[in-house]
Structure 1
Amino acid sequence: MTFDSYTDVFDLDRLGFGEHFFAGERIDAVHVQSRNNQWYQHTGMEAACASVRAAVRGYDRVIAYGSSMGGYAALRLAGLVGARTVLALSPQWTIDWRRAPWERRWAENSRVFEDVWEGSVPPPPIDEAFVIFDPLLRDRRHVQGLEHEGFRFQRVEIPGGGHPVGGFLAEISLLRPAVLDVIAGRFNPGQWRQAALQQRATSAQALLAESSRVSKARIGRRLALLQRAAQIAPRDPIVLSRFALELAWAGRPADALAYHRQALEIQPGQPTLLMHLSCILEIAGDREGARRVMAEVCASPTSEFYRPRLNALMVPPAAGRQCPGWLRRMMGGRPSLLAGVNV
């Protein structure tokens, strides 16, 4: 049973998280979708979970699985859907700004977060649970919050794996065996973790995550890491786009646009890529072009994450300021936004 993660696509006809993978493996699965990015805080969620529980009642082994927002739901709703095993990749404890003011990655969602059932549904009575995450990120504080609240699981720490850690695991071909081993009840987290750590140096996703931890002042180091990532994964649009964004920040807008053009050729119209293009244009001084790109993103139903970017571009920049604060913060350490990880 899977729970979908944060999405830019609000059409419920989209594939569920891992749907293609489980169909290919001939594993029966129920996929829980969310119409928006409210961390499943919907009235009637408990009734919906009861329907799912009834649908899987005849199975001997039921596993809840999700990544990021989906990992949050898999852990918190496992008991309600009848799962006795959980696999959560980079889950949150909460995004409620009153409880986790340090969590700013989903600031717009945190600002309007409404606790519908989070505080009333207790930790589930499960047999085993595995939480795989990067302890170098804020994800560590989420894991600590979950433990403090009474959730019981095995930590599987992957330093440098990024958020969500599934992108790194898929790249090094260790996500599939982990999922299948958890399903079969034979997952060995210690042995599996060692195999994952040995492959960080050759992973584009790990290099992407490492670059986000390097100070903005060390632009040469950040560029070197992202260039290596682009060489390792020349067909990964997010890697190419992030490298392009860094090139723009380094004062190389022509090179930035060339790399970003490659990214959009691979995945046309992807909102995160278009946001990066808008950033590049703004850094290069084409504020009107940046605004038009963001207007295109926000013209269709999409994530609320992008609306503040368009709003910021509608306001004249402060005198003497080279770039807006949100852009400086993003370049200073925002985790990569991964798309297309569907295992």
Structure 2
Amino acid sequence: MLKNSVIHEELFVGRDLALDYHDGGFPISIVTFEARNKYIDAVEPSPFEGGYGRGIFAQLGLNEFLVKRSRNHWYQTDEIEQVVDIIKERAKGTTLITYGGSMGGMAAISLATKLGAKTFIALSPLYDIAADGEVKDDRWGDEGHLFDFKHNYIRSGDCKDAQGYVFYCPDTVDVEHAQGIERMTKGTLVPLEYGGHPVSFFLNDTYKLKRLVSEIAHGEFDLDNFYNVVRTNTELTHYPHEKQAAEFSRQGDSAAAIKAMRTAESMNPKIARLPYRLGEMLLAAGEFDEAKLAFQRAIAIDPSLARAHARLSRIHEKHGNLSDAIRAIRQAVKVAPSKADARLRLGELLLKAGRSKEAEASISRSLQIKANQPAAHVRLSYAYADQNRWSDAIDAMQHAVALAPEKPEYRLRLGEWQLKAQDYRTAQVSMQRAIDLAPGNSHYYVRISYAFAGQKDYQQAARAMEQACRISPDKPASHLRLGECLIKAGDLSGAEAAMGEAVRLDPQWLRAQERLAAVQSAIARRHLASASR
């Protein structure tokens, strides 16, 4: 069958899934499932892309069904039942193969039996990512909590007769997924030492994916020969050097790690992750200029590498180039608009630049994407505070406290905003809770003294300051503050002693000298007045 005789059809378009078909009239059909895309959301749909194989496998003598996803739903959508029925009807009379990587690899196995597939080809597949699942895999953010995984037919036991190949890296948590798949299917595990996640890049570099798929689909795959070819070709690639760099890094030998990663990059200058990882190592070693160049090389290869833009932003900030830092993080937001952390980082930089209104918008968008970020609520409170919007600042901090009630610094900050709003009693309550959580922090007693003073309870303010001075007796500012509270409480002799201690601790502090002299003058006047009576 000639390539130009392959007919492309769009068989299904739904909210979550779409199905394309490349029909060449071949006796073998392959169903490809798209992998997870880190740049799209798990809940809100994005436009459909071209699909996993995009007709490439049709050139190998295979009819190709492309199952496309609009979001990272792990194929846990009822639309999958419609798609399965359409494929089964159109693939009648052909031998069916399923194929996918990562999220798509999980689907290739899970749906193999439903589709009546002879063989599955799964690259770095997942056995289960449910929050309460057997494998504790935290690489997928909140996605394990979002779905009920009722269409995970591996875990349910419906795939016990499914046969195929599981290609995975044994140096990652993928080994646990592979073990679960081995237990629940008749699949053959194919561990690949340098594979990483996903193993598709390694396989393509050392064996070629089209060759692998073609051989398995046509019954020509020989596992021993596969390993021989992979071993030989691996020595000619960057993978051993990349792994060596990671091992040196774990051992704390940054110089050797950087050298090995430079070698890895030189062997394959077309892979963005190599200069990116080199940049990370250089950054950790304090080589900021070299790290900057490495991240720029990564971006030149892959402009959509949001992490590299974010790292450049950090370097610019380190060098004091705030405008460049903002520009770089804006690029990260542009290429990864669904990443909450990039928007939060932009908001933090805008705050630092005094652009609180823009910061508010960016941080608010971050929270729309991911609401349970206590640090984002804290930063949003600062954006409101910069605009003197104390009620909004308090509300934001209350959200932060609700999400992280164990953090005393959040309760203290809530109290600070309540002080600004002149709600002294409530500020006292918030700050006391901070003290209850961290009773050894002298600063918290200093701050609660202001809440007492705001209520004109100067004796309580002085007691708070006495405790601050007991915890941190070497802080002259605390002794001066104690003296001021004692003045308001009418205890001039106590104030004299406290301010005298402040001067003793810092003899050059003019303010403390002046206040001590003023108190001593007041005491002298009081004595004179008493003597003249």
TM-score, normalised by the number of residues in structure 1: 0.79
Given candidates 144, 154, 163, the residue that maps to 1:110 is 144
Unaligned runs of 5+ in 2: 1-30, 350-533
- 1:221 corresponds to: 256
Shift of 1:310: 3.5
- 1:181 equivalent to 2:210? Answer no
Mapping of 1:284-303 within 5 angstroms? 285-286=317-318, 293-299=328-334
Tell me the distance in 1 between the aligned counterparts of 2:217 and 2:278.
37
For each residue in 1:237-257, what CA deviation from the matched residue of structure 2 results, as whole angstroms up to 9, or x when unmatched? Answer: 222222223222222222222
Given candidates 308, 311, 316, the residue that maps to 1:276 is 308
Shift of 1:97: 2.4
For each residue in 1:155-212, what CA deviation from the matched residue of structure 2 results, as whole angstroms up to 9, or x when unmatched? Answer: 1111122111110111124433211110111211222123213333332245435544
- 2:464 corresponds to: none
For each residue in 1:125-146, what CA deviation from the matched residue of structure 2 results, as whole angstroms up to 9, or x when unmatched? Answer: 6563011111111110011122
- 1:21 equivalent to 2:53? Answer no
Unaligned runs of 5+ in 1: 317-343
2:124–2:174: 8 Å Cα contact kept in structure 1?
yes
1:245–1:280: 8 Å Cα contact kept in structure 2?
no
Mapping of 1:157-176 within 5 angstroms? 157-176=191-210
Mapping of 1:37-186 within 5 angstroms? 37-59=72-94, 61-100=95-134, 102-118=136-152, 122-124=157-159, 128-148=163-183, 150-186=184-220
Tell me the distance in 1 between the aligned counterparts of 2:327 and 2:307.
11
2:182–2:189: 8 Å Cα contact kept in structure 1?
no
227-236 or 205-214, larger mean C-alpha shift: 205-214
1:237–1:267: 8 Å Cα contact kept in structure 2?
yes
For each residue in 1:51-84, what CA deviation from the matched residue of structure 2 results, as whole angstroms up to 9, or x when unmatched? Answer: 222121231x110001111111100011222322
Given candidates 289, 298, 322, the residue that maps to 1:263 is 298
Change (3 A) 1:135 1:300: closer
Change (3 A) 1:137 1:53: same
Change (3 A) 1:6 1:194: same
**Count of aligned residue pairs for this structure pair:** 309
35-44 or 279-288, larger mean C-alpha shift: 279-288
Mapping of 1:5-16 within 5 angstroms? 5-7=35-37, 8=39, 12-16=47-51
2:306–2:333: 8 Å Cα contact kept in structure 1?
no
Identity of aligned residues (%): 22
1:291–1:314: 8 Å Cα contact kept in structure 2?
no
206-215 or 61-70, larger mean C-alpha shift: 206-215
Tell me the distance in 2 between the aligned counterparts of 1:291 and 1:38.
32
- 1:341 corresponds to: none
2:124–2:166: 8 Å Cα contact kept in structure 1?
yes
1:85–1:126: 8 Å Cα contact kept in structure 2?
no
Other structure's SS at 1:29 match: strand
2:272–2:297: 8 Å Cα contact kept in structure 1?
yes
Q: Amino acid of the residue matched to residue 307 of structure 2?
A: M
2:206–2:229: 8 Å Cα contact kept in structure 1?
no
Other structure's SS at 1:257 match: helix
Shift of 1:26: 4.6
- 1:30 corresponds to: 65
- 1:308 equivalent to 2:338? Answer no
Other structure's SS at 2:74 match: coil
Change (3 A) 1:53 1:301: farther
**Higher helix proportion (structure 1 or 2):** 2
For each residue in 1:194-236, what CA deviation from the matched residue of structure 2 results, as whole angstroms up to 9, or x when unmatched? Answer: 3213333332245435544541723223322321111101122
Q: Amino acid of the residue matched to residue 112 of structure 1?
A: L
Larger gyration radius, structure 1 or structure 2 = 2
283-292 or 208-217, larger mean C-alpha shift: 283-292
39-48 or 131-140, larger mean C-alpha shift: 39-48
